[in-house]
Structure 1
Amino acid sequence: MPRRARGREDGSAVVDFVLVLVVLLPLFLGILQVALVLHVRNTLVAAASEGARYGATADRGPADAVARTRQQIAAAIDDRYAEHVTARPVPVGGAPGLEVRVEATVPALGLGGPGVHLSVSGHAVEEEAWR
């Protein structure tokens, strides 16, 4: 009788593996998606801030800020995230400043389909020219 009971357990490891995989695979893919979105968001924030600082220097302007931001994004991740970059003068803490705004959509797991819309901005106080 013990032989028959042991024989009925053959193949149960496969079933256990599938049951555990059904739970762990979506969890792993969800963590991967969050990591991808956070990476892209942090890169866009850093590029927008760098672009704002660059455009706020004494001999630069909003067009230079947009170009610098696009260059930073293209070098770090991909050109498609640099399509919607704008810069405009705004007051920053009561002083004249520059705001660079970047809008992008991060596709689900990088494969396409519905995505996460990100809108980030960077600010910098404008420099005064030396006299």
Structure 2
Amino acid sequence: MSTHFEVKNVALQNGDRLKVKGVILPDAQRFQIDLGRDKDDLALHFNPRFHDDIDGAVLVCNSKTAGCWGDEKREVYNPLERGTDVKIVLKLEGDMFEVELPDGYEVNFPYRVGMDVINFVRVTGDFKLTSFKIC
């Protein structure tokens, strides 16, 4: 069963962390964690893909402004595995997002859009969410 989890009015700011725990489904194709104002204005779209047409297993990051996607950042190293428990930590660090993965690998993505506060969080896709924590 895939996840669709949304939280509005959360107020994430510089220095905050979002910890997401769950299970990547055994037959997962992809899932995503989005941070922004709403579904059309995303400061971070973190999208692990397990069968991408171009790169196979890949980590994709992007941003979206007024419904228009920016340029993707693609990491061809994807340490996430189908059927495993994972903890992903998303950190808001000044002009950068840091996404910490279970093996200690970090993906950095620039804070492209001018949002003082992130108030929308969405986790969706082939992922069973078990825990969600803002600290």
TM-score normalized with structure 2 length: 0.29
The structure with more strand, counted as a fraction of residues? 2
Bigger relative contact order (CA 8 A; separation at least 6): 2
The structure with more helix, counted as a fraction of residues? 1
Larger Rg: 1
